[in-house]
Amino acid sequence: MFGRTVDVVTVDLSTVEVDEDLLSVAELGRALGIARTAALTDYLRAHTWLRQRLSEYLDVPPEEIEIAENEHGKPYIDAPATDLSFNLSYSGGRAVLGAGFRMEVGVDVEPLEGAQLNPEMMHRVLSRPEAETVRQSGNMKREFYKLWVRKEAMAKANGWGVGEETATNLLGLSPVERDGFEVTDLNIGDEFAAAVAVPAGCTIDLSVKIEAMA
Ligand SMILES: CC(C)(COP(=O)(O)OP(=O)(O)OC[C@H]1O[C@@H](n2cnc3c(N)ncnc32)[C@H](O)[C@@H]1OP(=O)(O)O)[C@@H](O)C(=O)NCCC(=O)NCCS
């Protein structure tokens, strides 16, 4: 990988075998606080997979990668020294990882099955034109979550505070450019809505790889 390229990889978490030996003390500590079994399993699988993927980029063993958080809580690689950025999202048994050198990356994935949609939620999350577009669409849930993951990906890429993403209109054909960032819808199957955001103005070679671990 070279230049300003973002890689997007997605995996079915049920195919990932948890390896707690790869995880840091901090990750294991967080795991202890997760009460729901399904959430705990997803967490352990997602973090095992994340470390395995980052290890391939960095050419160091997964357990030697030190991950810290910036002032907004966004994870970054503290060691080894690198300008590789990444962002992780996982939900409903699916994980998405975006990774690129010298850029901020944001990703989000949401499962559509069982997803809720109510007027209060629409009012809270969407701008007025977005809410109107969702109401007039033939598939309100899909349209809502398409916008939701765009907002989350943008927020995760550029560190927006809560509320800023609500005010910003992200309607339009993918990719949508706002405030120096560009958000692109990801096609990872009909059961999920997903998006990736990166800084605008750079050449993006975006290839979604769908992995199934052994
Ligand atoms: C904290 C937040 C990133 C969690 O998102 P989520 O949809 O619940 O969960 P995801 O699976 O998509 O992402 C979780 C991962 O994102 C990463 N992450 C955590 N905080 C982050 C931040 N501030 N910025 C970017 N990435 C972050 C972590 O890798 C985290 O995994 P971990 O919890 O296992 O360590 C998200 O709620 C957030 O801050 N969003 C921004 C603004 C907002 O509130 N939007 C709401 C409505 S659109």
Longest dimension (CA), the chain: 50
**pLDDT of 2 above 50:** no
What separation in Å is there between the alpha carbon of 70 and the centre of ligand 1? 13
108 Cβ inside 6 Å of ligand 1: yes
Q: Which of 67, 152, 188 to mutate to test the pocket of ligand 1 (most atoms within 8 A of CB)?
A: 152
CA atoms within 13 A on the CB side of 61: 7
β-bridge mates for residue 11, sequence order: 95, 211
Q: Residues 36-71: pLDDT tens digits?
A: 999 999 999 999 999 999 999 999 999 999 999 998
> Which protein residue has the closest C-alpha to ligand 1 atom 10?
89
Instruction: Report DSSP letters for 130-168, one per residue.
Output: HHHHHHHSS-HHHHHHHHHHHHHHHHHHHTPPTTHHHHS
Q: Please state, rounded to an integer, the average pLDDT across all residues of the chain.
A: 90
Q: Atom of ligand 1 at shortest distance to CA of 73? A: 23
Q: Residue 152's closest CA among 86, 59, 89?
A: 89
Q: Atom of ligand 1 at shortest distance to CA of 90? A: 11
Report the percentage of the chain scoring pLDDT > 90: 71
User: Who has greater pLDDT, 214 or 159?
Assistant: 159
43 Cβ inside 6 Å of ligand 1: yes
**pLDDT of 204 above 70:** no
Other Cβ atoms within 10 Å of 104 Cβ, number: 18
Q: How far apart are CA 117 and CA 111, in angstroms?
A: 13
Contact 82, 58 (CB under 8 A): yes
18 Cβ inside 6 Å of ligand 1: no
Domains and CATH numbers, the chain: 6-209 (3.90.470.20)
Which of 20-29, 113-122, 158-167, 198-207 has the highest average model confidence (pLDDT)?
Answer: 20-29
Q: How confident is the model at residue 185 (pLDDT cuts 50, 70, 90)?
A: very high
User: Who has greater pLDDT, 211 or 154?
Assistant: 154
Quickly tell me which residue has 């990932």 as its tokens. Answer: 16
**pLDDT attached to residue 202:** 66
What separation in Å is there between the alpha carbon of 197 and the centre of ligand 1? 13
53 Cβ inside 6 Å of ligand 1: no
Q: Which of 89, 91, 145, 178 to mutate to test the pocket of ligand 1 (most atoms within 8 A of CB)?
A: 89
pTM over 0.75: yes
